[in-house]
Structure 1
Amino acid sequence: MPDSLPARVVGRGVTTDVDTPWEHLLRADFSPVHQEQLIHGKAFALSIRGAVILHNFMPAEQKATLKQGGVAQPETELLVDRYRDEFTGWGAEMEEATEEPAAWNRNRFWQILLDTGARVTRTAAFADSWLDMALARNAALIDDASARRLVRDREIHLKGKLSRFTNERSLEIWSEAAGMRRIDYRWSTVQMLARDIVDGMGA
């Protein structure tokens, strides 16, 4: 698509090596439409990350309580500590965010997605519930009963009997890092393709 962000990046002939599109060197030159999308994309990626970490912290905590031959699993206890530290770090990121998440117009964000034809009703309900709590309490949510119930209910709704919260076998084979890669909206792929195209044009 000629008006897409990847097309604009390629058209400028400048390749980058940044983790997210909102860190791009030419962001200030992007169109108003893309600027708005990046503001919303960044706010969502940061705010929802806490739910992703909690989604891993809770089964790690649950797994740490299991016994194998009557012996506790210290490596899993270390995993619990790691995710607690990750959550604390996320809370600090929320506090330090350049574009204040509290000022984020979430209604506009969902409308942009709906305008693309995306079906987000159930996702929006979960995300809005999480974001309401995250913007109010962020780092304290790791021990918050309402936040834990929200994340637990979401997984059970999506996975049913295979949920790690209700199925011991699912908990045993859990990768211990489900969805932990930061949301970048496939930016790493865009950068790779843009670099190949720009390099090819200059060959």
Structure 2
Amino acid sequence: MSSLAWIDFDEAERQRAQRIMALFQERESRDELGLGSIRDSIADHLFPGTSTIQTRLRYMLFVPWLYQSLEQRGGTPSQLKAEARTLEVRLVEALKNGGEIRGIIGREAGVKLQRLPSSVYWAGLGAWGIRLFPGSIESYFTGLLRRRTRHTQDEAVTSAEAISSQRLWAKALPPAPPKLLDSTTFHLTNDEAGFIVDRLISEQPNSLLTHLAQYRIEAECDYIWEHPQRSDFPGKAQNLVKQADRFSAVMHGASLLYNLQLSELREHDGWVSFYQQRIADWADGINHKNIQDWAPDDFWKTVEHPAHNIRPATRRFVVQWLEQVALGAGRISASASARSLVKERERRLKSSQSRFSNRAVRDRWTGASGADRLSFRWSQAKSHLRDLAYAG
């Protein structure tokens, strides 16, 4: 029996709430029309363990290294948590001392840092099999106290059993570099990169992220469907990327129409002209054959993911928008039915906080919200792949 009794029934909800709060701080990621469950389902298939607030790949090692250093210390869970925070704040200075400029979590906040790297990477560490226990950060510290108490009281536990029951991190985790908290960088060694790739192969063998990581493939493109080696992707990944491209392209029009209508309500001529032009450009780029060939039932089966529930109302909205686009993308901005579809969708989602219904909320709108194409966390995956490619 494990010496850690992980009891944290609300961990999934806690992590989901953190993701939602993060989205509200990223203007381009705002989910005004309730497409987040589809977006995240696709992203978790393609790039599992990533999130929009991750920065650099070596944090996947920094966090377990720092936490390992606490596992032999005494103290209450609250004391250990405070020590962990101190270590993570020290890491900020160590990265600065190492000459890093971009990607440092807490570079400006310093000791006032609110979102620690551990909270940003915790779910990813579990998804990649680097973190072996299932609990939250809070239950981790409680578990350390329980483990020490049990092994102090139970002298019958053999050395082998103790080692097995204490396994909190992957066995092959590379050792922390000396003087980690004095000066360090985001540069991965070959051993560290190999460990991460091995974890992906073991835990996420079918993901596109694993395929790209395994062969150290990196590319500078804005979207995964623009990848120069797309034709070499595994078959399932190619199909998912195709579906992601089509969904992103089609639903981008709904987001633009949402922003156009708010611009009109705000009577801001510059914004109105901007979104009218963007919708015209979007309509010109729509592949009508793709729309005709799109089978929604196949799409829902392809993107289905156990961690995300795509509600019937969301599916209906997507299908109804697809029908509007099929009638003619060029007429969308002037279409009363398309405008009403978008407006009513946002009203149902936000109720009294709808920008269409609540003028005070609308007046705080700054001219752009969810106005970019969905990219399904390719930016974060691309950064991680670049770090792997330059390891050594």
Q: Structure 2-normalised TM-score?
A: 0.46
State the match for 1:118 in structure 2. Answer: 308
Residue 334 of structure 2, aligned match among 143, 159, 166: 143
User: Does 1:14 find its partner at 2:206?
Assistant: no
Q: Which moves more between the two structures, 40-49 or 118-127?
A: 118-127
Map Cα deviations across residues 62-98 of structure 1 (whole Å, 9 max, x no partner): 110xxxxxxxxxxx1111011001100010011xx39
Note the alpha carbon deviations across 1:105-133, whole angstroms, 9 max, x for none.
Answer: 22101112235453222211111100111
Query: Alpha-carbon deviation of 1:99?
Result: 6.6
Structure 2 counterpart of 1:33, from 228, 236, 253: 236
Contact 1:43–1:99 under 8 Å retained in 2? no
Q: Does the 8 A contact of 2:279 with 2:333 survive in 1?
A: yes
Q: In the superposition, relative to structure 1, how do residues 24 and 98 fare at CA in structure 2: closer, same or farther (>3 Å)?
A: farther
Give 1:161-180 correspondences, 5 Å limit.
Answer: 161-180=352-371
The farther-off stretch of 116-125 and 79-88 is 116-125
Q: 1:134 aligned to 301, 311, 325, which one? A: 325
Task: Count matched residues.
Answer: 188
Superposition pairs for residues 67-78 of structure 1, below 5 Å? 76-78=268-270
Alignment of 1:60-71 (within 5 A): 60-64=263-267
CA distance in 1, matches of 2:305, 2:257: 30
What is residue 90 of structure 1 aligned with on the other side? 282
Which amino acid in the other structure matches residue 25 of structure 1?
P
Using the alignment, how far apart are the partners of 1:99 and 1:28 within structure 2?
Answer: 20
Secondary structure of the 1:100 match is: helix
Aligned to 1:182: 373
Are the aligned partners of 2:252 and 2:372 in contact in 1 as well (CA < 8 Å)? Answer: no
TM-score, scaled relative to structure 1:
0.88
Instruction: Decide which of 291, 294, 316 is 1:104's aligned counterpart.
Output: 294
Over alpha carbons, which structure has the higher Rg? 2
CA–CA distance in 2 between the matches of 1:199 and 1:148? 47
Is the Cα–Cα contact under 8 Å of residues 59 and 164 in structure 1 kept in the other structure? Answer: yes
Which residue in 2 is equivalent to 1:157?
A: 348
Label 1:138 to 1:18 Cα distance change in 2 as closer, same or farther (>3 A): same
Q: Structure 1 or 2: larger helix share? A: 1
Task: Give the distance between the partners of 1:125 and 1:138, measured in 2 at CA.
Answer: 19
Unpaired runs of at least 5, structure 2 = 1-203
